[in-house]
Amino acid sequence: MLVDGVWVPTFPNARYLVAEKEWEYWDAHEDEKANGPVLADSVRPVIEAGLVDFVAQTHQLCDQVWLEPTPGHTPGHVSVHIASAGHEALITGDCIHHPVQMTKTDWCSSADYDPQQGQSTREDLLEKYADEDILIIGTHFATPTAGHIKRLEGGGYWLDVG
């Protein structure tokens, strides 16, 4: 948040986990003209405050929460896997921006760093979780934002929100 003209962490008592590979990429390729001051106002203040723990793309926070690499949108992109009381969920982040990408896996976001890798990641994720009892939570999906991946008879997948 902006305080007296200086960007400071909004949550000064929080710890922030950042995939190290992701940070290394953005730190080396910061482009405010293209992306705006995202790092300067939202990321660097928490790093400078010592609130960030850089972790591997497969970091396990605890037995119930871990990261899964889902590169393509960005080099070190991760999704968050949650397991509790016999139930599981995956927060997809930016690896799937819209449910249509479950059938049209080659439809990439204009913001994808590596569209081919993004497509491959989507296809691997969809194959892995199709017809499984894992709630898929699409970070950018319009309501309803969550459901289960199901296979379509003619190929592709859809999000069953029922």
CB 39 within 8 A of CB 93: no
Q: What is the pLDDT of residues 75-93, one digit of tens each?
A: 999 999 999 999 999 999 9
Report all structural domains of the chain as residue ranges with CATH numbers, in order of start.
1-55 (no CATH), 57-162 (3.60.15.10)
Taking 80 as the threshold, does the pLDDT of residue 110 lie above it? Answer: yes
What is d(CA 79, CA 92) in angstroms, rounded to the nearest whole number? 5
Q: What is the pLDDT of residues 3-15, one digit of tens each?
A: 999 999 999 999 9
What is d(CA 75, CA 93) in angstroms, rounded to the nearest whole number? 13
| 3-state secondary structure at position 26 | helix
What is d(CA 89, CA 76) in angstroms, rounded to the nearest whole number? 20
H-run or E-run covering 95: none
Taking 80 as the threshold, does the pLDDT of residue 35 lie above it? Answer: no
Confidence category of residue 121, pLDDT binned at 50, 70, 90: very high
Residue 8: what pLDDT?
95
Taking 90 as the threshold, does the pLDDT of residue 151 lie above it? Answer: yes
Q: If you search the block for the tokens 């017809």, which residue do you land on?
A: 131
